[in-house]
Structures are given as C-alpha cells and as structure tokens.
C-alpha cells in the first residue's frame, strides 16, 4: 500500500497506523521516539533515528549525560561519526535529552530501552535498570504506543518482566493496548555508527502488526535489513546465541593454546592453517575476554538454564576457561622474567593496553585489570600505557602519556590490547627503550615470536612458541585479538 504524505490522518496511537505510514511520519518529522539510556548504544540510536527524521528525546539518570547531549556533545569520542550526527540533530531541534521520563513517555510513538543489563558480583543478571524504566514507562504509557527493548536480556525477560511491569502499572495489555518488541543491539563498539547502518536487525514482537511497524522503523530509520522472528524471546535468544557462540569458540582456542604451549606448537600457526579449510571458522587465543557483553551474556542463559533444570555445562565451562586466561598471562610473565634471570617481584613491567578491545575507550570487565592486580600483589612495578586513556587515571594507575614513557627501562613488556599503535611497534626500537635484557609477553598475537626473539627479547605469548626462527607466511588476522 502506498500512502502519500497528505493522506495520513495522525492518530495518537501508532498501532492504528500502517508500516507505510510509519515511514511517512518519520520523513515528515512527525514520529516521536523516546530512548531510555543514552550510553554506548542509546546515544547512537537516538542520533541515527533523529538523523532519519524522527523527533527524539533521550532519557537518562545521569545529569552530565543529559547536559552534554543537550549541548550537542557526544562523550563517546571513540565512535567515529557520532559527534557530528549528535551536534547536527541537536542544533536542528530533532534531538534533546531529559532527566524526567514522565515529561516525554506519554507523548511517544516508540519507546526504546537501551539501559544497562550487567551481572552482579554473584554473576546473576542485574535487571534493576530494566525494571526501573519499565515502571516509568508503565506509569506514563499512552494507549497504542510501542515499547522496544534493545538491551541484551535473557529469553523471556521482555515478556515476563518488562511486559508484566508495564501491564500492572498501566492497566493495559501488551499485544492489545500497546506493542511490545525486542530488537537487540548487535553493533560493535568502535564501529557503532557504521554497524548501525549495515548490520541486519532482529525483531521479535508479541503481535504481528507491532512487529511490522518496528520493522518499518528500523528498515527506514537505519537503512538495514530486518529479520523477523516469532517472539521477543526468540530475538533475545538470537543475540545471546551469537555472543555465546563467540565466547565458547574463543574458549576452545584458549584451551588449544594452553595445550599446544606444552607441546611446543604455535596455536596461531595451527589456526591459520586450519582456516584454509572451507568449514573452519578461526577464533584466536588471548589474554582473556572483556567488555560489557561476552563476559556477562553467558550468565543470562546459565541462570535461566539452572532455574529450568537444564544446566548449560559447555557455556559455563567456556566462561571458566576464558576467566582463567589473565592468570595464565601472569604465569607467562613469571616464566619470561625467569628466562632473563629476574623474578616478578621488583621487576619493572610495562603494560601496553588496558582496554578490553582494540581502539575503544572502555575497560569494562577488562581482563587486564586482573593481570595488573596480580602482578602488583607479587610486588612488580607496573607502568601502563594505553592511547585511549593517555594521561588519565585508570585501574588505580596514572596512564603514561606516551608508550616510550611506559617502556623506558622496563624488564618486561606485556601487550594487553591490540591497539593499532601497538601493531606498528618496531621491535628493534622497542629493545633500545627497554632494559638491556627484557622480555615480551604478548596477550594479543601482535608480534611474530621469531621476530621478538631476533630483536633479543625473551618471548612468551598466549599459545605462541618461539623455539625456532621459523616465520609463518600467514600473519595472524586482525581478529586475533578481538576477544570481546
Ligand atoms: N556496549 C556494547 O558493546 C553493547 C553492544 C550490544 C548490546 N549492548 C547492550 O545494550 C545495553 C546498554 O548498554 P550500553 O553499553 O549502552 O550501556 P552504557 O553503560 O554505555 O549506558 C547506559 C546508559 O543508561 C543510563 N541509565 C542507567 N539506568 C537508567 C535508568 N533507570 N533510566 C535511564 N537511563 C539509565 C546510564 O546513565 C547510561 O548513560 C545493555 O543491555 C548492553 O548489554 C551493549
């Protein structure tokens, strides 16, 4: 059905409209969207919908986030392109932010939840923010609005927690009086603006018409393909399955690494050779898995599985293997220092990279924190450099402004993150900055072991061996260190 812009009779209820009308309203700047949570996911989502023509209000509990957004500033300086889109849409009046949900939620066609869903210290999912915003939404909801959950949650949380809270607060029924859908965010930090316009979105809803409208919004607003699944819980299962697939495969690579180090076999060499077979999907070992997603997403399923009497053993074990990798890095550091006649105690160790993934300013659940803590407990002197945090305080340390400052006189250099800057390191120059006898412990496959040895370093790397001068013809791929 084709609808010209003039034909639409605007209803208060977006559910009364067709998908084509949603597109037209978006283009006419008449679609109203509220985004709850203006963080790594919420701010780009708000900016992109505003850029597509919607009138977007971001709602956050952090005064500084609201102030900066209203000033047209993106604090996510590691998301290329976001700053310009935020600035432009604030200036043109399509994007604003507020601390007060009640002022906007009643006047929204679509309400999108992008609040955090971490795990607590006991590794149980913490749905506190999801519950809080569900209460706010339920109190202010207008009949006919559509609620979309982008936050990563366990299967059933949208129906049983979000839907139930909104129903009891509003007295309305999901699927009849308001729409309820999941459209989990699948972007990669550092590339969010690019991914938002290219990675297909998964949409599951409580009823088909609501799903049609949500699909139209994302197709038109982001310009991406939309894949429909039968329910919100199926959409959430898609998100968890893709992340857990990665976590489990990285754990398998880490297990090979631990084993092959004992055999004196280079795991990266093996994996790169395996990758020449048509059905092998390479994953690489490393210093551990960090970030807001992979280390916690498993627990959403593990927790639900235990409640339902079906423990996902493999997923749980994969977490254990990946969580053990920082300790393995400490073991490798002790070994490498022993090789040059030193102990960890008193050694000057330069840690290059604390972020959980390359070229992103984020240390959430970064495995490097455990490495640093353990080495400090063993009385090492730790110097840190990370280009994303240069000159700032992080993990209880002042991050050096330059790599040279951190590595000068070091007995050991640990690579914690495969930032682009570290991939360009010239080993001969590095050896002139460190102590005369020094070691490298590479947690991210940045160096070729034989090259490090040739430059005079004692070398250890997760799953790496440097027994001979053999130099593989296949260099590790960029994804070697993308353990998040
Ligand atoms: N960061 C990622 O790489 C990524 C990728 C895909 C999915 N996700 C998921 O997206 C969701 C959001 O993650 P994020 O990385 O954007 O988090 P974030 O920590 O960067 O931002 C969350 C924002 O929500 C705000 N907030 C917290 N409680 C609130 C409340 N009650 N009301 C309003 N605002 C509130 C915070 O102040 C913050 O600004 C999570 O479920 C996460 O798992 C994240």
Query: What's the pLDDT tens digit per position in 120-130?
Result: 989 999 999 99
Closest CA to 98 of 45, 59, 137: 59
Closest CA to 40 of 360, 286, 346: 360
pLDDT averaged over the chain?
94
In this predicted structure, what is the pLDDT of residue 9? Answer: 76
Q: Do residues 78 and 43 make contact, with C-beta atoms less than 8 angstroms apart?
A: no
DSSP calls for 16-84: GS-HHHHHHHHHTT--EEEEE--STTHHHHHHHHHHHT-EEEEE-S-HHHHHHHHTT--S-TTSTTHHH
Report residue 28 as tokens: 């006419």
- Minimal-distance CA residue to ligand 1 atom 38: 39
pTM exceeding the 0.95 threshold for the entire prediction: no
DSSP calls for 306-325: HHTT---HHHHHHHHHHHHH
Residue 26 has pLDDT above 70, yes or no: yes
Structural domains in the chain?
13-232 (3.40.50.720), 245-481 (3.40.50.720)
Closest CA to 27 of 271, 198, 219: 219
- What is the distance between the alpha carbons of residues 151 and 1, in angstroms, rounded to a whole number? 32
Q: Is 230 exposed, middle or buried (0-12, 13-18, 19+ CB in 10 A)?
A: exposed
Best residue among 34, 36, 37, 127 to mutate for probing ligand 1, ranked by most atoms within 8 Å of CB = 37
- Give the list of residues 6+ apart from residue 171 with CB closer than 8 angstroms, or none: none
Ligand 1 site residues, Cβ closer than 6 angstroms: 36-42, 59-62, 65, 114-117, 129, 132-133, 151-152, 185, 187, 189, 292-293
- Minimal-distance CA residue to ligand 1 atom 3: 189
Catalytic-labelled residue, pool 114, 183, 210, 293: 293
Best residue among 242, 292, 363 to mutate for probing ligand 1, ranked by most atoms within 8 Å of CB = 292
Q: Do residues 50 and 94 make contact, with C-beta atoms less than 8 angstroms apart?
A: yes
Is 293 among the catalytic positions? yes
Distance from the CA of 464 to the center of ligand 1, in angstroms? 36
Segment 289-298 shows an average pLDDT of 94
In this predicted structure, what is the pLDDT of residue 174? Answer: 97
Burial 246-267 (b: 16+ CB within 10 A, else e): bbbebbebbbbbbebbeeebbb
Confidence of residue 11 (pLDDT cuts 50, 70, 90): confident
In this predicted structure, what is the pLDDT of residue 7? Answer: 60
Segment 215-243 shows an average pLDDT of 98
Q: Do residues 24 and 5 make contact, with C-beta atoms less than 8 angstroms apart?
A: yes
- What is the distance between the alpha carbons of residues 259 and 144, in angstroms, rounded to a whole number? 57
In this predicted structure, what is the pLDDT of residue 483? Answer: 44
- What is the distance between the alpha carbons of residues 11 and 17, in angstroms, rounded to a whole number? 8
Q: Do residues 76 and 68 make contact, with C-beta atoms less than 8 angstroms apart?
A: no
Residue 118 has pLDDT above 50, yes or no: yes
Catalytic-labelled residue, pool 233, 239, 357, 361: 239
User: Quick one: which H or E segment has residue 348?
Assistant: strand 348-352
């Amino acid at each position: 059905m084709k609808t010209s812009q003039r034909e639409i009779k605007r209803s208060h209820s977006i559910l009364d409209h067709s998908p084509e009308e949603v597109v037209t309203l978006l283009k006419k700047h008449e679609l109203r969207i509220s985004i709850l949570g203006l963080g790594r996911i919420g701010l780009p989502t708000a900016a992109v919908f505003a850029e597509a023509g919607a009138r977007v209000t971001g709602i956050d509990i952090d005064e500084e986030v609201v102030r900066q957004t209203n000033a047209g500033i993106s604090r996510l300086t590691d998301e290329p392109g976001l700053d310009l889109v935020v600035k432009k849409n604030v200036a043109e009046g399509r994007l604003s932010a507020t601390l007060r949900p009640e002022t906007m939620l009643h006047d929204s066609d679509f309400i999108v939840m992008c609040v955090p869903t971490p795990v607590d210290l006991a590794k149980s999912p913490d749905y506190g923010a999801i519950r809080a915003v569900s209460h706010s939404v339920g109190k202010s909801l207008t009949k006919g609005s559509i609620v979309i959950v982008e936050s990563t949650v366990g299967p059933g949380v949208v129906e049983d927690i979000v839907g139930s809270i909104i129903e009891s607060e509003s007295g309305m029924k999901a699927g009849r009086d308001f729409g309820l859908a999941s459209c989990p965010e699948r972007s990669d930090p550092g590339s969010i603006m690019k991914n938002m316009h290219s990675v297909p979105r998964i949409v599951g809803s409580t009823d088909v018409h609501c799903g049609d409208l949500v699909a139209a919004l994302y197709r038109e607003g982001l310009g991406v393909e939309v894949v429909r699944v039968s329910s919100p819980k199926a959409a959430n299962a898609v998100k968890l399955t893709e992340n857990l697939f990665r976590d489990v495969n990285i754990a398998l690579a880490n297990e090979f690494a631990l084993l092959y180090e004992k055999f004196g076999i280079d795991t990266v060499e093996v994996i790169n050779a395996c990758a020449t077979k048509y059905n092998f999907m390479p994953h690489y070992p490393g210093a551990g898995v960090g970030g807001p997603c992979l280390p916690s997403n498993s627990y959403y399923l593990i927790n639900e599985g235990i409640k339902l009497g079906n423990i996902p053993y493999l997923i749980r074990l994969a977490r254990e293997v990946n969580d053990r990798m920082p300790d393995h890095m400490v073991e490798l550091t002790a070994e490498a220092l022993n090789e040059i006649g030193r102990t960890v105690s008193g050694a000057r160790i330069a840690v290059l990279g604390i972020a959980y993934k390359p070229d992103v300013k984020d240390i959430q659940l970064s495995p490097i924190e455990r490495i640093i803590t353990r080495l400090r407990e063993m009385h090492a002197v730790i110097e840190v450099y990370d280009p994303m945090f240069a000159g700032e305080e992080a993990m209880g340390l002042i991050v050096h402004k330059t790599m040279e400052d951190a590595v000068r006189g070091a007995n050991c250099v640990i690579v914690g993150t495969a930032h682009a800057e570290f991939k360009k390191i010239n080993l001969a120059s590095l050896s002139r900055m460190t102590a005369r006898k020094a070691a490298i412990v590479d947690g991210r496959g940045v160096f070729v072991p034989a090259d490090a040895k040739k430059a005079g370093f004692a070398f250890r790397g997760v799953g790496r061996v440097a027994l001979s001068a053999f130099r593989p013809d296949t260099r590790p791929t960029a994804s070697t260190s993308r353990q998040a």
